[in-house]
Amino acid sequence: MTSPPVHGSQALFPVVDGNLVVGGIALPRLAQRVGATPFYAYDRALLSARVAEVRSRLPAGLQVHYSMKANPMPALVQHMAGLVDGIDVASAGEMKVALDTGMAPEHISFAGPGKRDAELLQAVAAGVCVHVESERELHALARMGDETGLAPQVVLRVNPDFELKGSGMRMGGGAKQFGIDAEDAPRALALAATLGLDILGFHVFGGSQSLKPEAIVQAQAQTVALMLRLAEASRDPVRLLNLGGGFGIPYFPGEQPLDLAPVGAALEQALPALRAALPQARLAIELGRYLVGEAGVYVARVIDRKVSRGQVFLVTDGGLHHHLAASGNFGQVIRKNYPVAIGNRMDAAERAPQSVVGPLCTPLDLLAERMELPLAEVGDLVVVFQSGAYGRSASPQGFLSHPEVVEVLV
């Protein structure tokens, strides 16, 4: 049995008359406004506040990019576009949404392995910056440059010879499908020169979901050192350095929010040498879940309450088909409960262990396992916090053919 976690996310949303308030609207009314459950709701004010906080803690002039695979809802991406300096996309589909916001193409970057020729051509035609992950992509871009008469905007994504320690998801170091291995980067730079491609700079992404400032500081220091080495092998002046991101948010009991102060201080210290060595380089970080994860909730309605051999099951209309991560099946090794609440009984004193499940015919469809929750009834609204990132778009909506989930930005 787990005790109710107290997370930053829960404190971020006010409670009025026992109801959670999202985007200034009490949850029962918001559910009426949406017209259906389940739904995701993202709070604009929290999104704006988070970007402002990141900017206040990190050095002035450091560019903050939004990695939109964390949450590609067009209205949300539009909102983020007005707050950040660039948008990172990982497919032509995401690139369309980013371009639709009006973000300048040179501030959109397209990374990811296995970019198809059609996608590369779209990026070249748009003037979007392509983060190349292989020599094949260099050849393809050079050919497209010749065919279109356009100058492809190219950044070399490098697979570092280190990783972000303690990160939830390793995206660099060792053998990886991402980027060009650091030791092969000089060869790729020479190839680019032969092909007549102008390389704008470098991109290193060491990992994701880290809550340890010292690990992030270390990875950033290693990234800067690697980039300075790579710059020496570059024929072209370095105009962009993307240091990656990796900032995590707390999901589970005992996890502490990431302290950005040491990260900001270390970057501040590293900047003068970097600016002296590479005066033309814009410095950027790319953040997905840190910017949007805590600003979103998933809301499902209790449609049945069952007792099985003494255990209470709240059966909801939502589940893993909308929110795979909350069910514990999106990369987690050990299943733990996301922070969950009964959104219309936030003040209830009496609590009891209850499990929240979805309507799918699989025991994996579990949103909370024996959690201390207010005594809930049919019609109540179950809220899953920390749901603004890797929610709808990272879930198998087609599984069991239930209705699709609605998303609102409030």
What is the token pair recorded at 300? 């499902």
Q: What are phi and psi of 163, to 5 degrees?
A: -130, 165
What is the token pair recorded at 247? 């900032």
DSSP assignment of 125-179 equals HHTPEEEE-SHHHHHHHHHHHHHH----EEEEEEE-SS--TT-SEE-SSSS-SSS
Bridge partner residues of 353 (DSSP) = 372
Q: How far apart are CA 188 and CA 234, in angstroms?
A: 10
Nearest-CA neighbor of 130 among 95, 84, 85? 95
Bridge partner residues of 241 (DSSP) = 202, 283
Residue 70 in the binding site for ligand PLP (CB under 6 A): yes
Pick one of 43, 286, 317, 407: the residue that binds ligand PLP (CB under 6 A): 286
Q: What are phi and psi of 189, to 5 degrees?
A: -65, -40
What is the token pair recorded at 347? 């003040």
DSSP assignment of 30-96 equals HHHHH-SSSEEEE-HHHHHHHHHHHHHHS-TT-EEEEEGGG---HHHHHHHHTTSSEEEESSHHHHH
Q: How far apart are CA 1 and CA 3, in angstroms?
A: 7
Residue 67 in the binding site for ligand PLP (CB under 6 A): yes
Report the site for ligand PLP in 200-219 (rule: CB under 6 A).
205, 208-209
Q: Residue 315 Cβ, how far from ligand PLP at the closest point, in Å? A: 31
Report the site for ligand PLP in 355-374 (rule: CB under 6 A).
none
Stretch that binds ligand PLP, among 29-37, 120-128, 281-289, 367-375 (CB under 6 A): 281-289
Instruction: Choose between 208 and 354: whose C-beta lies nearer to ligand PLP.
Output: 208
Q: Residue 403 Cβ, how far from ligand PLP at the closest point, in Å? A: 27
Pick one of 288, 319, 343, 358: the residue that binds ligand PLP (CB under 6 A): 288
Q: Residue 290 Cβ, how far from ligand PLP at the closest point, in Å? A: 6
Q: Residue 81 Cβ, how far from ligand PLP at the closest point, in Å? A: 16
Stretch that binds ligand PLP, among 91-99, 285-293, 362-370, 394-402 (CB under 6 A): 285-293
Q: Return all residues near 260 (Cβ < 8 A) that are at least 6 apart.
A: 53, 54, 57, 58, 213, 247
Q: Return all residues near 311 (Cβ < 8 A) that are at least 6 apart.
A: 353, 355, 370
Strands 63-67, 86-89: parallel, antiparallel or unpaired by DSSP? parallel
Q: Residue 278 Cβ, how far from ligand PLP at the closest point, in Å? A: 21
Q: Residue 89 Cβ, how far from ligand PLP at the closest point, in Å? A: 10
Report the site for ligand PLP in 78-97 (rule: CB under 6 A).
88, 90
Q: How far apart are CA 27 and CA 16, in angstroms?
A: 10
By the 10 Å C-beta count (0-12 exposed, 13-18 middle, 19+ buried), 397 is classed as middle
Pick one of 22, 39, 40, 69: the residue that binds ligand PLP (CB under 6 A): 69
Residue 282 in the binding site for ligand PLP (CB under 6 A): no
Instruction: Choose between 88 and 407: whose C-beta lies nearer to ligand PLP.
Output: 88
Q: Residue 313 Cβ, how far from ligand PLP at the closest point, in Å? A: 32
Q: Residue 255 Cβ, how far from ligand PLP at the closest point, in Å? A: 15
Report the site for ligand PLP in 290-349 (rule: CB under 6 A).
290
Pick one of 7, 289, 345, 392: the residue that binds ligand PLP (CB under 6 A): 289
Closest CB to ligand PLP: residue number: 288
Stretch that binds ligand PLP, among 191-199, 286-294, 323-331, 346-354 (CB under 6 A): 286-294
What is the token pair recorded at 49? 């506040």
The 376-395 site mask, x for binding ligand PLP (CB under 6 A), equals -------------x------
Residue 110 in the binding site for ligand PLP (CB under 6 A): no
Interaction site with ligand PLP (CB under 6 A): 67, 69-70, 88, 90, 111, 205, 208-209, 245, 286-290, 389
